[in-house]
Structure formats: C-alpha cells, structure tokens
Structure 1
Amino acid sequence: MSTEIMHLVEQAGPYLTTAISAYGAAVLTRAEDTAADATAALGQRILQAVWRRRSESGRTELEQVVSEAADEQNESYTAAVLGRLLRRVLQDDAELRAELSSMLPAPAAGSVTIKASGERAIAAQYIGTAITGDGHTAPRP
C-alpha cells in the first residue's frame, strides 16, 4: 500500500469518525448542513465523494460499513473499519485520491506526525540513542 494512501487515510480518519458520530448512517444521504461543525462537514463530503465514485455493490458495502460503524458508537472501531474501506477504495482510484487530497487541509509547515504502533514501540522525531529490549542495561554517563 502506498505511503500516499496511508497518509490520506490517517488525515481523513478524524473527519470521518466525527461525521459518523454527528449524523450516523444518514451521513451518506443527508444534505450538507451549513451550520454543521466544520470537521463533521468535511467528513461528510469525503464519504459522499467515495459514495459518488462507487458502483452499486460498492455503495451497498459503504452503506453497510457506515451503518455498522454508527451503530457501534465506538470511535476506534469506526476509524478502523472506515480506514480499511478507504484504503481499499483509494488504492484503485487515483482520481479519488486527488479529490481527497484537495479536500483535506495541508499539514502546517514544519509539522511532523510520528506514530508508534505495537507492544513496546517507541516514536521520536529526533533521537540520539534508543535502546529497547528486556534485560538490557545502558551505561550511565
């Protein structure tokens, strides 16, 4: 999976979960609410862009995923389920990747995202020495 797709999914995730939390399964079919929170509105626009580009079977799958995520009412679950679907959809559709890239705000200049994943994972932007593992003793200065 390309880095571009992973980055888009990570950026879109908070917007999608907010839209699902705000609108539930109706997020796909309701008209955009001008008074809606900007985050939820962007999430709704992203989901509707995916909706427009899907075939009938793809739309049915998207409806099921959104409905399931809305019923679950668990932000982590929603992010994971929508992330998997979005990664798969973006992998096959370069035009949709471009459309979502134009919708999402550009990261602030100089901003860095660092993510650690897994048991005992570490993350750092700048690091001199990182020693991990059981039973290791590091010399003290």
Structure 2
Amino acid sequence: MPEIETLLHQVVPAVGAAVSAYGAAVLVRAEEEAAGATVRLGQRLLGRLRRRAPEPEAIDAAVAELAEADGDEDALAALRLRIRQALMSSPGLRAELAALLPPPPAGPTPGVHVSGSVTGIVSTGHGATNIVRREAR
C-alpha cells in the first residue's frame, strides 16, 4: 500500500491545479475537452476524495478556501492537511487514489547532497561535461 506522503506528493498538486483552473466550481463541474490532463486527474481525485472521505465537507471547505485565496500557499497547505486526514483514516481510499495515479518513480530521486561548503563544480548526469573558463589576469 502506498505511503501517505507519496500519495500527498502526487494528489495535492493535481487537486490544486483543478481548483486553480475552476475555483470552487470544481466541486460540481463536469470534465471538459479543453481541460488539461492534470486538471482532469485532479477532478477525478477530488471526486473520489469527496465520495469516500469520512468528512467530505472538510474537503469541500478547504477547496472553497483555496479557490477564494487564489492559490495561496497556506490555503493549499490546509487542503493538504484535510486530504492527509482522509487518507490516514481510510486505507481503502489510499488504494483507490493510488490506482488513479501513475506509479511513482522507482528508487531515490536524483540529486546531490552537500554537507558543508562547496567551492567547485557539482555535476550529475550521464556524460556530463564541465568547462571552466577563467578570466585572464
């Protein structure tokens, strides 16, 4: 069963995009041809959340607040909290949402961890080439 943090990382941006695109109307608006894949996914996820969450009115209130706040980070965080609470209380809902999402990338996400200060080049990637041009003195 997928971890809650992994689901939140995938669900919240899609639901947030749907709310940004349609505002509070996302709660009742039918999918449109012109809607992008992320918005359609967000609508499906939100619909499932509203049908299966123990307190769908809390999800609705957070969506309405986000729509009114026009993408404010705090309002998005409040929606994330409501979605987290729904996922924590329902393993079945976690499985249903995971089935709607593409699989998360396998393994650790690429990146560089730096401890301390770095004075040179940090480069990742297959076949990366770094060229340092020094100014003439």
TM-score normalised according to structure 2 size: 0.74
**Paired residue for 1:59?**
56
- Contact 1:20–1:70 (CA under 8 A) maintained in structure 2: yes
**Could you tell me the percent identity over the aligned residues?**
39
**Paired residue for 1:20?**
19
Deviation at 1:37, TM superposition (A): 0.5
**In structure 2, distance between residues paired with 1:60 and 1:67:** 10
**In structure 2, distance between residues paired with 1:5 and 1:131:** 32
TM-score normalised according to structure 1 size: 0.72
**Paired residue for 1:97?**
94
| Count of aligned residue pairs for this structure pair | 117
Q: Secondary structure at the match of 2:3?
A: helix
**Paired residue for 1:8?**
7
Could you say if the C-alpha distance between residues 48 and 109 of structure 1 is closer, same or farther in structure 2, counting changes exceeding 3 Å? same
Deviation at 1:31, TM superposition (A): 1.6
Amino acid at match of 2:21: A
The C-alpha deviation readout for 1:36-90, integer Å capped at 9, x for no partner, is 11001101111110101135xx222222111111000125234311110111100
The Cα RMSD (Å) is 2.5
Stretches of structure 1 lacking an aligned partner (at least 5 in a row): 115-122, 133-141
